[in-house]
């Protein structure tokens, strides 16, 4: 076949799809997102017709012309579709972008007029699709800043040209000569002891090089969660264990010369299990006599019991009260690039791991500790990471890849399938939240009592800290003097939960903001006023029960402006709707600490390069959060140049001393401060050098992540509900964010839109199901229903005008927090429209319809 004008005469293997063929031929712009034709990341043209190459047999392309994103550009430059995505910045992580560009390049005029239909075969997890629509419409969103004035400008991502041409290199977009393939045999049981494993038949499969079991793995316990302070997470996991605690847990790994041989090897392994009793419900898991998963008493891996003030007296003082219990679902991150890593030994015998990770430095530390290696004998790096959302703050593959590389002394690759991503990666913690709150007639809150039970699944990674965080800012945002919290993070024999955008706050905020809405209704106070009466004010302490946080304060305050934006939105006349549909409005707020507690470290080095250019070395990974762009802007301003003169080297343990990682929304507020310090110091050195040559001059910067400030968000919806079907239509969506100095309005808006879109998915549709035996039954995008272009409304985004006293150049965080007020705002709008208070996420059409039926039946 002709690929991008070049003849390729290698015959495909029998049954091979075009996607894998193209990648084996070196066309890495063709991405793997699902292998089931659902995500469109692999879209290419065959004789000018767009196809999902994962479903297209490679042999059918014989004698045809195949075009990938690498072949779109002509002699005069980028294809118009590529240029449009670059001008509009129609991407964040960019993993979906090649597919979207290939679809866009083939759109007819009729298809352009109906983009929701035209893009039904292309998923994007990051952008919320507005930026994609802008690209198709030819909107130019980027701006070229003047030297020294790029902060605050809509600067495009430095990697933009590579992203739109398919040249950006993600984890597996590299040739590793002689690489072996690993596949993992996983447990069918939710709880079992492995009595025996017979691997002889697997080892006899042609191409199989090794079978690894618990007998080959270190006995050392660790946590897959990665935090600066490892003690935050219980050490309860082994690389390969002789006890399995969830269906989907690793049992054995097969390493072979091909994926097919590794899969055949897995099928040939015989495992004898001694099945143990399992418990899937966290309340049941805490009950006496429940099966124990680990040493933790009652399966409780973390708990919080604390009171501020006198809660009973507060309720006695209350003139209205509301009490309700809320539940949230298991949700998958669904980053389009699945978990994966490839490892090898370099010429010096050093272990190198290239991985899709948000925490390369902490992963290096964890791998080194597991295998008793000095830190400097392990190098961990990332390419561009295809989405993370917290899911890649976890060591899910690197430990196993390291074991195989060290054993075989050969390169080894492990790439999760989409099904493994659902069954064996992590999910958002399901929460059960009961909240009672009381207020005086004037709306002043007098008491709040919170009970939270979180399902951490089979392992405690992130369990205690998600629980603590969820219970903190959600209550601290209100001045109520009497608050009590009882919270439990509980082991169950379910797929492990982990870090996910919002880190527990979304779940508790759902309850708090729903109950606030009910109190306001009882009192006849409008919801914005109810918040204005009760929210924390500048200079006040941020108090929540069990507060162990002493480095957090309000270093800038824009919540009043956010509430003003929401009041303005709710004052505007509404759109007309279909006859018979019920219309309502609702809002909610959220507060989040800018960065995690306990210290988050970043180092940066700035160096003068030849040709009026500068290098910034910084550890933070880029996974679509835009931190690289902002780092380039910060450095450019400090060095009085433009961002195109800044070369960023990043996310490689060889480039700087340490970096805690790209999580906790720290890319700008922590790593950005280190970059600012390094670039400022370098500029001073340059000035001091006078006429002396400066090429090679360097300076460093550090920030330890403390003290910290808080950011605020407010969301408002107007919705229409069809009472006969439960269908919800979002008529208007408005979000206001207090991000301090908005470093890049284009990217910050993208973070808000993407966060709202992801939250709408979790609010309206997404849920990972497990059956009575504990097996995950949601194994692909077709069942999961990730939001498509057609599902996401355009959200109007406003920013408060504030400048933070702590963040670099006044900035605060804004990656995770837009997620948190979305579910309660929608719940409150549905309540307003229908009179029904929905307390269980997601609000699927059948749940809404059932709620309406119940309301009709009740007197
Ligand atoms: Fe679309 Fe990340 S930019 S999936």
Distance CA 524, CA 518 (A): 10
548 — pLDDT class (breaks 50, 70, 90): low
- CB distance 91 to ligand 1 below 6 Å: yes
- 740: CB partners within 8 A, 6+ apart: 556, 558, 709, 711, 802, 803, 804, 807, 810, 811, 812
For 830, the token pair is 């549905």
Closest atom, ligand 1, to C-alpha of 41? 4
For 576, the token pair is 């007309």
Would you state the torsion angle of the CA atoms of residues 490, 495, 498, 500, taken in this order, to the nearest 10 degrees? -120
For 752, the token pair is 């808000």
Residue 455 alpha carbon to ligand 1 centre in Å? 29
For 733, the token pair is 């969506």
* Nearest alpha carbon to residue 263 among 487, 558, 15: 15
For 721, the token pair is 């509900």
Q: Read off the pLDDT of residues 357-394 as tens digits, 9 standing for 90 and up.
A: 999 999 999 999 999 999 999 999 999 999 999 999 99
pLDDT reported for residue 859: 65
Give the residue whose CA is nearest to atom 2 of ligand 1: 93
- CB distance 418 to ligand 1 below 6 Å: no
Q: Read off the pLDDT of residues 570-593 as tens digits, 9 standing for 90 and up.
A: 998 877 678 999 999 999 999 999
- CB distance 128 to ligand 1 below 6 Å: no
Residue 505 alpha carbon to ligand 1 centre in Å? 24
Distance CA 421, CA 776 (A): 11
Residue 514 and residue 527 in contact, taking contact as beta carbons nearer than 8 Å: no
Residue 103 and residue 119 in contact, taking contact as beta carbons nearer than 8 Å: yes
Residue 94 alpha carbon to ligand 1 centre in Å? 5
- CB distance 336 to ligand 1 below 6 Å: yes
If one residue of 86, 133, 336 were mutated to test the ligand 1 pocket, choosing by the most ligand atoms within 8 A of its CB, it would be 336
**Sheet with 412-415: strands ordered across:** 208-212, 250-256, 180-186, 412-415, 340-345, 351-355, 378-381
Give the residue whose CA is nearest to atom 1 of ligand 1: 124
pLDDT reported for residue 775: 98
Residue 324 and residue 445 in contact, taking contact as beta carbons nearer than 8 Å: no
Rg over alpha carbons for the chain, rounded to the nearest Å, is: 26
Percentage of residues in the chain having pLDDT higher than 70: 100
If one residue of 32, 92, 758, 787 were mutated to test the ligand 1 pocket, choosing by the most ligand atoms within 8 A of its CB, it would be 92
Residue 98 alpha carbon to ligand 1 centre in Å? 10
Mean pLDDT of 516-521: 98
Residue 164 alpha carbon to ligand 1 centre in Å? 12
* Nearest alpha carbon to residue 629 among 205, 89, 4, 182: 89
Residue 356 and residue 32 in contact, taking contact as beta carbons nearer than 8 Å: no
CA distances from residue 686 to 307, 545, 608 in whole angstroms, order as listed:
55, 50, 9
665 — pLDDT class (breaks 50, 70, 90): confident
Residue 100 alpha carbon to ligand 1 centre in Å? 10
If one residue of 32, 34, 103, 126 were mutated to test the ligand 1 pocket, choosing by the most ligand atoms within 8 A of its CB, it would be 126
Residue 6: burial class (beta carbons within 10 Å; 0-12, 13-18, 19+)? exposed
What is the number of other CB atoms lying within 10 angstroms of the CB of residue 313? 13
If one residue of 69, 95, 168 were mutated to test the ligand 1 pocket, choosing by the most ligand atoms within 8 A of its CB, it would be 95
- CB distance 387 to ligand 1 below 6 Å: yes
Q: Read off the pLDDT of residues 96-150 as tens digits, 9 standing for 90 and up.
A: 999 999 999 999 999 999 999 999 999 999 999 999 999 999 999 998 888 889 9
If one residue of 94, 122, 389, 815 were mutated to test the ligand 1 pocket, choosing by the most ligand atoms within 8 A of its CB, it would be 94
* Nearest alpha carbon to residue 444 among 567, 324, 532: 532
Mean pLDDT of 291-306: 97
pLDDT reported for residue 597: 87
- For 142-201, the DSSP string reads ---PPTT--TTS-PPPTTHHHHHHT---BTT-S--TT-EEEEEEE-SSSSEEEEEEE-HH
Residue 713: burial class (beta carbons within 10 Å; 0-12, 13-18, 19+)? buried
For 28, the token pair is 């890495």
Residues pairing with 74 in the sheet: 77
Mean pLDDT of 199-225: 98
Closest atom, ligand 1, to C-alpha of 126? 2
pLDDT reported for residue 594: 87
- CB distance 126 to ligand 1 below 6 Å: yes
Distance CA 474, CA 515 (A): 12
If one residue of 38, 88, 125, 132 were mutated to test the ligand 1 pocket, choosing by the most ligand atoms within 8 A of its CB, it would be 125
The residue with tokens 């063709």 is: 30
Question: Does position 784 have pLDDT exceeding 90, yes or no?
Answer: yes
Residue 387 alpha carbon to ligand 1 centre in Å? 7
Residue 36 alpha carbon to ligand 1 centre in Å? 18
Residue 162 alpha carbon to ligand 1 centre in Å? 14
Helix, coil or strand: residue 344 = strand
For 400, the token pair is 């196993």
If one residue of 31, 69, 97 were mutated to test the ligand 1 pocket, choosing by the most ligand atoms within 8 A of its CB, it would be 97
Residue 483 alpha carbon to ligand 1 centre in Å? 40
747 — pLDDT class (breaks 50, 70, 90): very high
- CB distance 624 to ligand 1 below 6 Å: yes
Distance CA 802, CA 798 (A): 12
Residue 383 alpha carbon to ligand 1 centre in Å? 15
Mean residue pLDDT of the chain comes to 96
Q: Read off the pLDDT of residues 813-842 as tens digits, 9 standing for 90 and up.
A: 999 999 999 999 999 999 999 999 999 999
650 — pLDDT class (breaks 50, 70, 90): very high
- CB distance 94 to ligand 1 below 6 Å: yes
Question: Helix H segments across 166-310?
Answer: 200-203, 259-268, 282-286
Residue 336 alpha carbon to ligand 1 centre in Å? 7
Count of residues in the chain: 859
551 — pLDDT class (breaks 50, 70, 90): confident
Mean pLDDT of 488-499: 98
In the 8-state DSSP scheme, what is residue 741? Answer: S
Residue 544 alpha carbon to ligand 1 centre in Å? 36
Tell me, rounded to whole angstroms, the distance of Cα 445 from its chain centroid: 34
If one residue of 624, 755, 781 were mutated to test the ligand 1 pocket, choosing by the most ligand atoms within 8 A of its CB, it would be 624
Q: Which residues of 570-605 are buried (b: 16+ CB within 10 A; e: fewer)?
A: beeeeeebeeebbbbbbbbbbbbbbbbbbebbbbbb
Residues pairing with 192 in the sheet: 244, 275
- CB distance 127 to ligand 1 below 6 Å: yes
* Nearest alpha carbon to residue 353 among 618, 803, 159, 365: 365
Distance CA 185, CA 265 (A): 9
- CB distance 460 to ligand 1 below 6 Å: no
- CB distance 125 to ligand 1 below 6 Å: yes
Closest atom, ligand 1, to C-alpha of 386? 2
Tell me, rounded to whole angstroms, the distance of Cα 533 from its chain centroid: 33
Mean pLDDT of 656-672: 94
Residue 754 alpha carbon to ligand 1 centre in Å? 9
Residues pairing with 811 in the sheet: 740
Q: Read off the pLDDT of residues 332-347 as tens digits, 9 standing for 90 and up.
A: 999 999 999 999 999 9
pLDDT reported for residue 604: 98
The residue with tokens 């808000």 is: 752
Question: Does position 549 have pLDDT exceeding 90, yes or no?
Answer: no
């Amino acid at each position: 076949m002709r690929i991008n004008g070049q003849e390729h005469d290698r015959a495909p293997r029998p049954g091979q799809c075009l996607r894998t063929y193209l990648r084996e031929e070196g066309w890495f712009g063709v991405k793997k997102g699902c292998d089931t034709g659902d995500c469109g990341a692999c879209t290419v043209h065959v004789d000018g017709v767009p196809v999902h190459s994962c479903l297209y047999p490679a042999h059918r392309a014989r004698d045809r012309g195949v075009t990938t994103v690498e072949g779109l550009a002509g002699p005069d430059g980028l294809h118009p579709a590529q240029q449009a995505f670059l001008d509009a910045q129609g991407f964040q992580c960019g993993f979906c972008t090649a597919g979207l560009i290939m679809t866009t390049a083939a759109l007819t005029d009729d298809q352009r007029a109906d983009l929701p239909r035209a893009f039904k075969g292309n998923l994007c997890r990051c952008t919320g699709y507005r930026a994609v629509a802008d690209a198709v419409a030819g909107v130019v969103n980027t701006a070229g800043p003047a030297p020294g004035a790029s902060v605050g400008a809509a600067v495009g991502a430095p990697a933009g040209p590579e992203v739109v041409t398919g040249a950006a290199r993600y984890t597996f977009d590299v040739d590793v000569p002689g690489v072996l393939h690993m596949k993992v045999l996983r447990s069918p049981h939710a709880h079992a002891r492995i009595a025996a494993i017979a691997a002889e038949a697997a080892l006899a499969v042609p191409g199989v090089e090794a079978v690894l079991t618990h007998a080959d793995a270190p006995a050392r316990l660790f946590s897959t969660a990665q935090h600066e302070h490892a003690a935050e997470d219980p050490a309860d996991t082994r690389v390969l264990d002789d006890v399995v605690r969830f269906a989907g847990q690793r049992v054995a790994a097969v390493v072979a010369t091909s994926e097919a041989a590794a899969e055949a090897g897995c099928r040939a392994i015989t495992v004898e299990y001694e099945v143990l009793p399992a418990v899937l419900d966290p309340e049941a898991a805490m009950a006496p006599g429940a099966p124990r998963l680990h040493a933790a008493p009652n399966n409780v891996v973390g708990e919080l019991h604390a009171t501020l003030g006198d809660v009973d007296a507060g309720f006695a003082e209350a003139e209205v009260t509301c009490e309700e219990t809320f539940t949230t679902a298991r949700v998958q991150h669904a980053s389009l690039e699945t978990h994966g890593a490839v490892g090898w030994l370099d010429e010096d015998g050093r272990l190198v791991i290239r991985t899709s990770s948000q925490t390369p430095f902490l992963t290096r530390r964890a791998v080194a500790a597991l295998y008793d290696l000095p830190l400097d004998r392990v190098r961990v790096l990332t390419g561009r990471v295809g989405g993370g959302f917290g899911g890649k703050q976890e060591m899910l593959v690197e430990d196993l890849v390291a074991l195989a590389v060290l054993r075989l002394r050969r390169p080894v690759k492990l790439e999760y399938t989409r099904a493994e991503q659902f069954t064996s990666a992590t999910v958002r913690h399901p929460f059960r939240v009961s909240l009672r709150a009381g207020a005086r007639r004037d709306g002043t809150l007098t008491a709040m009592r919170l009970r939270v039970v979180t399902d951490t699944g089979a392992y405690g990674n992130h369990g205690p800290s998600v629980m603590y965080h969820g219970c903190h800012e959600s209550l601290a945002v209100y001045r109520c003097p009497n608050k009590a919290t009882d919270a439990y993070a509980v082991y169950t024999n379910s797929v492990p939960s982990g870090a996910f955008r919002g880190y527990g706050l979304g779940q508790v905020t759902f309850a708090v903001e729903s109950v606030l809405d009910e109190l306001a209704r009882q009192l006849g106070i409008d919801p914005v006023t109810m918040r204005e009466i009760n929210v924390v004010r500048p200079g006040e302490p941020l108090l929540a029960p069990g507060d162990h946080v002493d480095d957090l304060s309000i270093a800038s305050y824009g919540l009043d402006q956010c509430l003003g934006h929401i009041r303005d939105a709710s004052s505007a006349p509404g759109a007309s709707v279909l006859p018979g549909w019920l219309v309502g409005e609702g809002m909610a707020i959220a507060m989040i600490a800018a960065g995690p507690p306990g210290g988050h470290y970043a180092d940066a080095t700035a160096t003068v390069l030849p040709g009026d250019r500068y290098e910034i070395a910084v550890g933070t990974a880029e996974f679509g959060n835009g931190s690289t762009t902002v780092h380039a802007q910060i450095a450019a301003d400090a060095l009085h140049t433009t961002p195109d003169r800044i070369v960023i080297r990043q996310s490689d343990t060889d480039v700087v001393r340490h970096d805690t990682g790209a999580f906790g929304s720290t890319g700008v507020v922590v790593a950005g401060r280190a970059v600012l310090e390094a670039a400022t110091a370098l500029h001073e050195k340059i000035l001091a050098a006078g006429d002396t040559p400066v090429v090679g001059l360097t300076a460093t910067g550090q920030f330890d992540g403390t003290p910290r400030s808080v950011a605020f968000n407010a969301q408002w919806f107007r919705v229409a509900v069809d009472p006969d079907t439960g269908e919800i239509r979002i008529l208007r969506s408005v979000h206001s964010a207090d991000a301090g100095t908005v470093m890049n309005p284009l990217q910050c808006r993208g973070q808000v839109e993407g966060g709202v879109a992801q939250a709408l998915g979790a609010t309206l549709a997404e849920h990972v199901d497990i059956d009575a035996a504990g097996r995950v039954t949601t194994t692909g995008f077709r069942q999961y229903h990730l939001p498509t272009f057609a599902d996401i409304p355009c959200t109007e985004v406003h920013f408060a005008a504030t400048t933070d006293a702590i963040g670099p150049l006044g900035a605060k965080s804004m990656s995770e927090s837009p997620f948190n007020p979305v579910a309660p705002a929608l719940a409150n709008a549905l309540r307003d429209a229908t009179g029904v208070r929905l307390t269980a996420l997601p609000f699927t059409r059948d749940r809404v319809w059932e709620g309406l039926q119940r309301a009709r039946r009740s007197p």
